[in-house]
Structure 1
Amino acid sequence: MKFRILTLILIILTSCINETKFDSEVWNKKGVDWQVTDFREKMVADLIKSDTLIGLNKIELFELIGKPGREFDNKLEYLVREKYEWNVDPEYIKYLWVDLDKNGIVTNCYLEKTR
């Protein structure tokens, strides 16, 4: 009985983990939008914390995480997650922003969540 309870607790705790290691192939995977962004949302924290993007040039960046959805001067925007519940409007949208210096080198990246 104790083993079953311990196993159940372990399953619940591990299913609550929303962070996984960044994987370029999974990040760039094509498919249904909600599936793709679900994977990205779980990887983005590792991507930012590990400084994987810092120091890459634009070509290396595009090879690693693809081309951005939008580009503003030296800022690139990548869709991470568009989360819907029961409404037509999204519950929230998360973007990964990548800052480039004047030479096109990544200097910073951060997550932005909008409602």
Structure 2
Amino acid sequence: MKKISKISYLIILFVLSNCGKTDVEFNKQQWNEKFDGFYENRENMVNDLFKNHLKKGMKYKKLTDLIGEPQNYGTQKSNTVVYLIMEDYGWNIDPVETKILIITLSKDSLVENYEIQHWKK
């Protein structure tokens, strides 16, 4: 009987450890899909986007062809573009967690740098 409970415990532990965020291959159509006002696929695609698609020196036109038009916020510098990755409101009307992709451009509109900015209340 002890063996069965240990095996059951290990199976439950394995299943729980595999829940949550999973990395998937970047796909422009899925990247831009919204459901109920939220981008549900972006957080799972951002690692592949960084590793295989987004490159320093990339032209702005190629960037927008790849991931679409940015959603700039008024608080960002003029040489940056912003893409919302995820926003969580919890049980509040104000966000409790936000992740955004910030891309810094040169004067020639080339990608200089990119990073994820993560804010959590």
| Per-residue deviation, 1:82 | 1.2
Residue type at the aligned position of 1:66: G
Structure that is richer in helix per residue? 1
Counterpart secondary structure, 2:53: coil
TM-score normalised according to structure 1 size: 0.78
* Cα contact 2:24–2:45 (8 A) shared by 1: yes
* Cα contact 2:70–2:82 (8 A) shared by 1: yes
* Cα contact 2:33–2:41 (8 A) shared by 1: no
Which one has a bigger Cα radius of gyration? 2
Asked which structure has the greater RCO (Cα within 8 Å, sep 6+), the reply is 1
Match of 1:11 in 2: 15
Summarize the alignment of residues 1-115 of structure 1 with structure 2, pairs less than 5 Å apart: 1=4, 3-16=7-20, 18-23=21-26, 24-34=28-38, 36=39, 38-48=40-50, 50=51, 52-54=53-55, 55-70=57-72, 72-114=77-119, 115=121
Residue type at the aligned position of 1:20: D
TM-score normalised according to structure 2 size: 0.75
What's the CA shift string for 1:62-114, capped at 9, x where partnerless?
11111001174221011111111111111022211001112211121011123
* Cα contact 1:19–1:46 (8 A) shared by 2: no
What's the CA shift string for 1:3-46, capped at 9, x where partnerless?
54433222111114x24134123211233223x2x321232244
Counterpart secondary structure, 1:43: helix
Q: Which runs of 5+ in 2 are unaligned?
A: none
